[in-house]
A and B are shown apart, each in its own frame.
Chain A
Amino acid sequence: MIQATILYHLLLAANLFYVAPTTELRLEFLPSYAQAPLNLSEGGETETIQIEKLKCYLSNFELYEGTQRVFVETNSYHLLDASVPNSLSFHLEIPSNLNFSEMRFKIGIDSTTHAGGAFGGDLDPMHGMYWTWQSGYINFKLEGRATACPARKNKFQFHLGGYQYPFNTLQEVRLPVKGKKMIAVAIELDELLSSIDLATDYLIMSPNAAAVKMAQQLPALFSIEDEN
Chain B
Amino acid sequence: MKIKLSLLWICLFVIAGFYVGDQYDLLYPNYFPAPAYDFTKNSLTKEKVALGRALFYDPKLSKDNTISCASCHSPYNGFAHTDHDLSHGINDQIGTRNAPALFNLAWQKSFMWDGAINHLDMQALAPISHPKEMNESIASIAQKLQAEVKYPPFFLRAFGDRVITGERILKALSQFQLTLVSAGAKYDQVKKGTASFSSQEANGYRLFQANCNSCHVEPLFSSYAFASNGLAIDTTLNDFGKGAITKKARDQLLFKIPSLRNLSYTYPYMHDGRFRKLRSVLKHYTEGIVPHTNLAPRLQKGITLSVREQTDLIAFLLTLNDKEFVFNADHQFPKSFFFPKEGLED
Chain A residues packing against B (C-beta within 8 Å): 3, 6, 10, 13, 114-120, 123-128, 130, 132-135, 164, 208
Contact = CB atoms under 8 A, between A and B. Distances in A.
Given A117-B41, A133-B129, A125 B170 contact: yes
Contact of A115 (B118, B130, B168, B171): B118
A201 B254 CA distance: 31
Given A117-B38, A118-B170, A134 B245 contact: yes
Interface of B: 3-4, 7, 10, 38, 41-42, 116-122, 125-126, 128-130, 137-139, 142, 165-168, 170-171, 174, 245-247
A65 to B, nearest CB: 34
B29 to A, nearest CB: 25
Contacts of B128: 132
Contacts of B7: 6, 10
B139 A119 contact: no
A133 B166 contact: no
Contact of B165 (A6, A126, A135, A208): A126
A116 B170 contact: no
Question: Which of A13, A118, A128 gathers most chain B CB within 10 Å?
Answer: A118
Given A117-B38, A120-B167, A132-B130, 12 more contacts: A117-B170, A117-B171, A120-B165, A120-B166, A120-B168, A123-B167, A125-B170, A126-B165, A128-B137, A130-B125, A133-B126, A135-B117
A175 to B, nearest CB: 31
Nearest to B116: A134
B167 A115 contact: no
B30 to A, nearest CB: 26
A126 B139 contact: yes
B166 A125 contact: yes
Question: Which of A10, A127, A135, A164 gathers most chain B CB within 10 Å?
Answer: A135
Contacts of A124: 165-167
A108 B119 CA distance: 19
Given A124-B166, A126-B142, A126-B166, A132 B41 contact: no
A117 B120 contact: yes
B131 to A, nearest CB: 10
A124 B4 CA distance: 42
B130 A133 contact: yes
A81 to B, nearest CB: 13
A118 B167 contact: yes
Taking chain A's interface residues, is the majority helix, strand, or loop, or is none over half, making it mixed?
loop
Taking chain B's interface residues, is the majority helix, strand, or loop, or is none over half, making it mixed?
helix
B16 to A, nearest CB: 16
Nearest to B125: A132
Contacts of A119: 167
B118 A135 contact: yes
Contacts of A118: 42, 119, 121-122, 166-167, 170-171, 174
A208 B119 contact: no
Nearest to A3: B3
A116 B41 contact: yes
A208 B247 contact: yes
A123 to B, nearest CB: 8
Nearest to A121: B167
A126 B10 CA distance: 36
B119 A116 contact: yes
4 closest A-B pairs (Cβ-Cβ)? A132-B129, A126-B166, A117-B121, A118-B121
A17 to B, nearest CB: 12
A118 B170 CA distance: 7
Contact of A125 (B118, B138, B247): B138
Contacts of B170: 117-118, 125
Contacts of B38: 117
A10 B174 CA distance: 39
A125 B126 contact: no
A105 B328 CA distance: 50
B126 A132 contact: yes
23 contacts: A6-B3, A6-B4, A114-B118, A117-B42, A117-B122, A117-B171, A118-B171, A120-B165, A124-B167, A125-B122, A125-B138, A125-B166, A125-B167, A125-B170, A126-B138, A126-B139, A126-B165, A132-B125, A132-B129, A132-B130, A133-B130, A134-B116, A135-B119
Contact of A135 (B116, B130, B138, B168): B116
A13 B10 CA distance: 10
Nearest to A134: B116
